[in-house]
Chain A
Amino acid sequence: MSALYEVRGLRVDVPLGGGLLSAVLPGGKKTLNILDGVDLTLQPGETLGVVGESGSGKTTLARAMLGLTPAAGALRFQGRDLAASDLRRGTAMMFQDPVSSLSPRMRVGDQVVEPFTIHGIPMAERTPAAELLSRVGLPPEMAARYPHELSGGQARRVCVARALALNPALVIADEPTAGLDMSIQGEVLNLLSALKRDRGIGFMVISHNLPVIRHAADRIAILYLGRLVETGPTAEVFARPAHPYTASLIAAEPNPDPRKRRADLAIQGEIPSLLRRPTGCPFHTRCPIAVPDCARRPPALTAFGPDRRVACHLATP
């Protein structure tokens, strides 16, 4: 079976323009590197979780994969290069803020069927709005509402309904549970996993919420400063993280059980600015086990047991 989506050696640079920023940068650089050397494979019907702190390049990765930002490297959707592939009809994006990604002046029913108009689908092949809404568990009356009349959870369901209109093979969800109450989070995640099971849709879920990713994703990819530091099956990575950054992230998550309170600090320092990317391994400035070599040579993403890869000089299987 061919992969649903393959990313090989992805690199994204953004131009800085001729402004003050490029004048103060060392060497008068005209571009800023966001992502480099990212290799990922997504299988049909699989959920890949992409994890990282703000500024790690998660959203840029999604935008590059959907052809929304210029990128270098090989990107293949269903075995074909993006330009030759059925990218626009075969993929859908759920943006981070559901309310602002819906038009405030269109009724919900009109928005969920807009993809049919955009792609010129014949009337006979269009799915009615009521049916799209019922797939995500919303009553048909909802079609007459405007976005401001929806709750956060309902707005998210509408975005899912719209994403599903064209029966995509891949849905990219950027922070699908951000801003939702805990009692609603589960609803959205359960909906995504039901769609994966019943329709075989592949999902890429971007989140900085580790407990959510742990339940939602089959495999995870961890990004740090635009570099892939670790990938592998979710359960294995959580049980035995290979990269010190992954280990620190897992340890930093506050534990609701007061009997398991941690006394020490999981991770020191802050994620450095992309403008001042550390030499060598990008994580060496905060790494608890860094050795002098880490500042000199960037580690390559290498195999670490079956189906796992890690970019760390010190990782030993």
Chain B
Amino acid sequence: MSDPVLQVRDLSVRYGPVQAVRGVTLTAARGEVVGIVGESGCGKSTLASALIALTAPGARATGQIAIEGQDLVAMTEAQRRALRGDRVAMVFQDPMTAFNPVLTLGAQLVDFQHRASLTKAEKRARAAAMLARVGLPDPELALTRYVHELSGGMRQRAAIAAALMMRPALLIADEPTTALDVTMEAQILHLLRELRRDHDGAIVIITHHLGVVGELCDRVYVMYAGQVVEEGTVDEIYHDPRHPYTAALISCDPAHIADRAEILPTIPGRLPDLTQPPAGCAFAARCTLATARCAKPPPRVVLSATHAALCHEVTP
């Protein structure tokens, strides 16, 4: 097997005193769809923006983010700029703000190809072909439209087309369906599933929605308080969750509970303060299985070639 498209090693991101991402290691191979799932404040969006070197000003990243072997953390800003949009591209949650409101879609899709040595007419034709590929009806007409003239679902399709324009090795989608209705969400998930067949890069999906992971991903990383607490294939994570947080999260999902429940399960307690994260297991304060040894940093227990959990209580 060739090298993975994305190789993140021991990545930490801090905003001043806040340790948003703490020692994350993950990979994504060519042709793979990898999910990063967690609740608000777990660091998944910070991780997503770090993968394309777009973290907010003041963020400090340490560790390694290698995209096709090139380390984003170590390179200069000029080198990062050359990589962004070309080798790595991103689909944001809100497609309205991802486009310029005063330029037509066609003008922007042509601009996005500024590194390609093609004529303007060729670039426009490629843009129209890409819009057709993502299912926009009448792509030639769509090129002349402004973003506000498109519906939410069409905007997200256009944003996916924009991200795929340069055939990036790594496509990152941050909550790509969260702003959409359920019928549009199903259509975008269907589209992403179709696109992965002819996209020969890796796709990383950041989401809080276990349904999106279940429908779309091959492997998944579960994050809690800035750390990856469990990783595995979707089947391992959904049918054999080993970390207590993963198990609790899945049991909280109302879609997981078949019969009507009068009382839905919850996870009592709160996220730890990430300015002073606990030295031991970050989930211990909310965990039903916690013992005295959870005050020490938990080991990464390897359960199979693909499955691992960060927990004292897990046994292989």
A185–B238 CB distance below 8 A: no
Task: Kindly state whether residue A96 has any CB partner on chain B within 8 Å.
Answer: no
Q: Which residue of B lies closest to A183 (CB)?
A: B267
Task: Kindly state whether residue A11 has any CB partner on chain B within 8 Å.
Answer: no
B264–A53 CB distance below 8 A: no
Q: Which residues of B contact A151 (CB under 8 A)?
A: 270
Name B's interface SS: helix
A248–B252 CB distance below 8 A: no
Task: Kindly state whether residue A211 has any CB partner on chain B within 8 Å.
Answer: yes
* Cα distance, A7 to B249, chains bound together (Å): 39
Q: Which residues of B contact A234 (CB under 8 A)?
A: 260
A249–B253 CB distance below 8 A: no
B62-70, B139-147, B185-193 - the one binding chain A: B185-193
Q: Which residues of B contact A81 (CB under 8 A)?
A: none
B210–A256 CB distance below 8 A: yes
In the complex, which of the residues B184, B217, B260 contacts A235, with contact meaning CB atoms closer than 8 Å? B260
Q: Which residue of B lies closest to A261 (CB)?
A: B215
Q: Which residue of B lies closest to A187 (CB)?
A: B266
Task: Kindly state whether residue A16 has any CB partner on chain B within 8 Å.
Answer: no
Output the least CB separation between B191 and chain A (Å).
Answer: 9
A254-B215, A255-B214, A266-B186 known; A186 vs B181 contact (CB < 8 Å): no
In the complex, which of the residues A53, A187, A214, A270 contacts B182, with contact meaning CB atoms closer than 8 Å? A53
A212–B211 CB distance below 8 A: no
Interface residues of A, count at CB 8 A: 43
Binary CB contact string for chain B from 259 to 294 against chain A (1 if under 8 A, 0 otherwise): 011111111001000000000000000000000000
* B residues 134-171 touching A (CB-CB < 8 Å): 151-154
Binding site for A on B (CB under 8 A): 39-40, 151-154, 181-187, 189-190, 208-215, 217, 234-235, 238-239, 248-250, 252-257, 260-267, 270
A-B contact pairs, 30 of them (CB 8 A): A53-B183, A151-B270, A152-B40, A181-B39, A182-B39, A182-B210, A182-B252, A183-B39, A183-B248, A183-B252, A183-B266, A183-B267, A186-B263, A186-B264, A190-B263, A193-B263, A212-B254, A215-B257, A235-B260, A252-B186, A253-B182, A253-B255, A254-B186, A256-B210, A256-B253, A257-B238, A257-B256, A268-B187, A270-B183, A271-B183
Top 6 nearest A-B pairs by Cβ distance? A254-B211, A186-B264, A183-B267, A211-B254, A256-B210, A252-B186
